[in-house]
Chains A and B, each alone.
Chain A
Amino acid sequence: MRKIGRIVSLILVFAMLATSFVFADAAAIVSPAANSIVYTDTLLVSVKVTELKTIRVSVYAERVVSGDKLVNADVSKFTEADLRSAASSSKYTDVLLGEAATYTNTVEIGFYTKQISVSPGLYKVKAETLETVMEWPEGAEEPVEKTIVTETKTSLVAVKKKPVEEKQQVFQNNSTGAVTFIRKILKGLFK
């Protein structure tokens, strides 16, 4: 009897996993964009859910060991390439910021949105799609509900402080400097 129960629960789990492969990508992290660099002290977390599912969203600070403490990673010189390699690096420790939040989508498309205060460093946003399955633990008379993660999406973002010299570069291409210089000369000539 016990053996039959175990087989049934295994079948159920595999069936759920199989269907989750067929209907993958229930959640997608819209913000922050993966491997992006932002200049802000608040981070917008936006996760798009396209199925009638529940997701769990967690935000982690990727910290590094410094002496006997964990400190924010120094991302001041990070490029997008550095972010891509950081994803597979083992030198970072995930430190959960606040508590993980759950969001249940009840319509065709829904969004989980939240604003998080951050300081310069490396951050990871994780969105896990949750499923409730029935499992038959050993020795149990009846199957019990268990929440499993069927899909995980992550997005790494580097939060930096905007250097002053980067400001006011938007309109440099207009060559306003040269035009203004010529206008000044002409104005001076005809005064």
Chain B
Amino acid sequence: MDGRTKKLEKLKNAVIVVLFLTTILLLNLTWRSEGSGSFRLPNVLDLISPDVWVPDAEEFMVPERSIYGFGDGTFSVSSWNAPDDLETVLSLIRKESGSASFLINEVTPEQYREMFTGYRTLKVSFSYLIPFGEFCDRCGINRSSSFDQVGSFDSFLLSEAAPESFFVEGGGKCWRFISDSEEDVATPVLSTMIRLDPVCYTAGSMFGNENLSLLPLTDSNVLADSSWRSEAASDVEKAGREMAESVFGENFDFVRRITDSVGNVTYMYGYGEKTLTCLKEGIFEYKTETAEGPDPGFYQSLQTAIAFTATHGGWGSDRRKLAYVLQSAKETGSGRNKSYTFEFAQVEGGVLLFAEDGPAITVRVSGSEVDYYRRAVVEANVQTAELRQTADAANVIAGNSHLIHSVLGGNLLAASSDLEFSFVAQKYREASAGYIVSEEALKPVWVITMEGGTKFFFGLYDALPLGFTRK
């Protein structure tokens, strides 16, 4: 009897296990048929995961450079002092705006020229225009309705020519804010300005025209040819798939996937309402139909662009130091059709990286939604060499004026190289050192920015043409 009982108990054990498993199975079948569907991680990322680093818009609102004018035609330029200089100027303005009222006058071009070249002047500049009203609100500057005459700006100035005032410049205009307190706010700041190498002069001084844009007289640098690879180089296909999952979410498995003969992949949702193109070089481009909607403003749009980038490729792993700068911000359209296009450049060792086909990250925001995103981020292995003299910036421009003139579409009937040069000298805006991402290497270059934003790249040491942005 014992033996039979034992066998029976073993059988019961087996039956319990089987029944337990069938219960699980039936429950699973029931849940599936109720269409609970599957669980996809990208869905969760619609609520941004705490592991995703989303920088604040303020971290990108950094001035590009400070210009110190010494009143004798010489200037110094600094990019690393610019954030501190901006804070100095803003604290003065905040203090004045808290206790005084302002009379605002537009400065004439002649007055501006005399002030900028003939008097000690500090100019702190952004590389893009910012709506002045929004900026004042974000920075704690008390503003009155008279501030509205300044639509967008990119620079603040203090000048010995009017030490009780501050100046705001943007879009080719300059406004003088005259405080009724008549306190000398500029002199304490201007008296501490020191000369930095290299000395700069206006293009007008060097070339003999009216151009106030600055050029270094001579310069030297340590930048050398360096290697690079796409951030997706280790597995472009996987990177593309991850990007597509983040873009299309739960629809990823059902979007059309088109691969061309060289290996570029396009993901298409619907009849092209949303597309993501993944080039085999590790460049990604996302487009969707433009949404109409109320204008959320510059800062909110910038934050939207930053958040989108954070979840679609990210801002890098080192949260202590942002490896990108906001290089350009453009507004197009108006009202419900307003769009903001933000361009972000990579920074390596304090030097910007450029490419002919565009910046590292481009995001366009329309009505609070991102409708265009392009990502061409590289991993750079930057090398430096011994300090050596660079090609003369003035002669880089002069020697390549025919090329610049042709690209900018100057007067094609200009018979003489002198006329071509005059055209180029007038349109010149900025010269800085950087790297260009070329097929062979990261090459150190002079980045010559012209009116309208087109950038030309010339070898930093040999002035040879290496390309230009096709804007």
Indicate yes or no for A touching B, C-beta below 8 A. yes
Q: Which residues of A contact B (CB under 8 A)?
A: 28, 30-31, 33, 38-42, 44, 46, 48, 50, 107-111, 113-115, 162, 167-168, 170-171, 174, 176, 179-180, 183-184, 187
Task: Tell whether, in the assembled complex, residue A39 and residue B119 are in contact, meaning their CB atoms are under 8 Å apart.
Answer: no
- Alpha-carbon distance A176/B161, docked complex (angstroms): 13
Chain B positions 197 through 228: 1 when the CB is less than 8 Å from some CB of chain A, otherwise 0: 00101000111100000000110000000000
Question: Within the complex, which residue of B161, B207, B394, B398 is in contact with A170, where a contact is CB–CB below 8 Å?
Answer: B161
Bound-state CA distance A139–B118 (Å) is 60
B201 and A44 form a contact (CB under 8 A): yes
Bound-complex Cα distance A51 to B409 (A): 24
Complex formed: what's the CA distance from A176 to B206 in Å? 34
A49 → chain B closest CB, angstroms: 9
> How distant is B134 from chain A, measured CB to nearest CB, in Å?
28
In the assembly, what is the distance between CA of A109 and CA of B423, in Å?
13
B206 touches A40 (CB 8 A): no
Q: In the assembly, what is the distance between CA of A115 and CA of B178, in Å?
A: 36
CB <8 Å contact, B399 and A109 = yes
Q: Select B160's contact among A39, A167, A187, beta carbons within 8 Å.
A: A167
A167 and B217 contact, Cβ closer than 8 Å, known pairs A30-B208, A31-B205, A44-B205? no
Are B160 and A40 within 8 A (Cβ)?
Answer: no
Whether B115 sits at the interface, judged by CB under 8 Å, is yes
Which residues from chain B contact A41 at a C-beta distance below 8 Å?
Answer: 72
B438 close to A (CB within 8 Å): no
> Which residues of chain B are near A171, meaning CB under 8 Å?
107, 111, 161-162, 165, 176
A180: which B residues are within 8 A, CB to CB?
103, 178, 180, 182
Distance of A44 Cα from B103 Cα, bound (Å): 38
Q: How far is the CA of A170 from the CA of B45 in the complex (A)?
A: 58
- For A113, what are the chain B residues with a Cβ–Cβ distance below 8 Å? 206, 217-218, 392, 394
Q: Quick check: B395 and A111 within 8 Å, CB to CB?
A: yes
Complex Cα–Cα for A176 and B199 (A):
34
In the assembled complex, the Cα of A42 lies from the Cα of B165 at a distance in Å of 28
Report the nearest B residue to A166, measured CB to CB: B118
CA A44 to CA B201, docked complex, whole Å: 8
The answer to whether the Cβ of B402 comes within 8 Å of any Cβ in the partner chain is yes
Query: Is A107 touching B73 in the complex (CB atoms < 8 A)?
Result: no
Q: Are B399 and A30 in contact (CB under 8 A)?
A: no
CB-CB nearest in chain A for B424: A109
In the bound complex, residues from chain A placing their C-beta under 8 Å from that of B162 are 168, 170-171
- Per DSSP, chain B at the interface is mixed
Q: Check if B119 sits within 8 Å of A115, measured CB to CB.
A: no
Nearest chain B residue, comparing its CB with the CB of A111: B394
Interface contact A168-B103, CB-CB below 8 Å: no
Q: Which residue on chain A has the smallest CB distance to residue B400? A: A107
Q: Which residue of B lies closest to A43 (CB)?
A: B73
Inter-subunit contact B72/A39 (CB<8 Å)? yes
Query: Given the complex, which residues of B lie within 8 Å of A179, measured CB to CB?
Result: 103
B107 / chain A contacts, CB cutoff of 8 Å: 171
Q: Return the chain B residue nearest A168 by Cβ.
A: B161
Q: Known: A31-B206, A170-B114. Contact between A111 and B398, CB under 8 A? A: yes
Contact with A along B84-128 (1 / 0, CB 8 A): 000000000000000000010101000100110011000000000
Question: Do A170 and B111 touch across chains, with their CB atoms under 8 A apart?
Answer: yes
Q: Which listed residue, A38, A44, A107, A183, touches B398 by the CB 8 Å rule?
A: A107
B217 partner, pick from A28, A38, A115, beta carbons under 8 A = A115
Is B421 located at the chain interface by the 8 A CB criterion?
A: yes
Q: Which of B384-408 contact A (CB under 8 A)?
A: 392, 394-395, 398-399, 401-402
Contact between chains at B73 and A44 (CB < 8 Å): yes
Q: A46-B206, A187-B180 are in contact. Are A174 and B105 (CB under 8 A)?
A: yes
Contact (A40, B398) CB under 8 Å given A113-B217, A115-B217: no
Extra pairs beyond A44-B73, A167-B160, A180-B103 (11, CB < 8 Å): A30-B206, A39-B71, A46-B205, A48-B208, A109-B401, A110-B398, A113-B394, A168-B160, A170-B115, A180-B182, A184-B180
Query: Which residue on B lies nearest to A184, using beta carbons?
Result: B180
- Of A114, A174, A180, most buried by chain B (CB within 10 Å of CB) is A174
Q: Is B74's beta carbon under 8 Å from chain A?
A: yes
CB contact between A111 and one of B119, B161, B163, B392 (< 8 Å): that residue = B392
Q: In the complex, what residues of B have CB within 8 A of residue A38's CB? A: 72-73
For the complex, give the distance between the alpha carbons of A108 and B208 in Å. Answer: 17
Nearest CB on A from B80, distance (A): 24
Which B residues are in CB contact (< 8 Å) with A167?
119, 160-161
Cα separation A28 to B73 with both chains bound (whole Å): 20
Q: Name, among A30, A46, A171, the residue most crowded by chain B CB atoms within 10 Å (CB to CB).
A: A171
Q: Which residues of chain A are near B72, meaning CB under 8 Å?
A: 38-42
Q: Does B417 contact A (CB under 8 A)?
A: yes
Q: List 22 A-B contacts (CB under 8 A).
A: A28-B208, A38-B73, A42-B72, A44-B74, A44-B201, A44-B205, A46-B394, A50-B417, A108-B401, A108-B417, A109-B401, A109-B417, A110-B399, A113-B392, A168-B160, A171-B111, A171-B176, A174-B176, A176-B105, A179-B103, A180-B180, A187-B180
Q: What residues of A have a CB within 8 angstroms of the CB of B180 in the complex? A: 180, 183-184, 187
Chain A residues closer than 8 Å to B114, beta-carbon distance? 170
Q: Is the CB of B402 within 8 A of A108?
A: yes
B165: min CB distance to chain A, Å: 8
- A46 neighbours in B (Cβ, 8 Å): 205-208, 394
Contact B73 A40 (CB under 8 A): yes
Please report which residues of chain B, range 447-462, place their CB below 8 angstroms from some CB of chain A when the two chains form the complex: none
Chain B residues in 8 Å Cβ range of A109: 398-399, 401, 417-418, 421
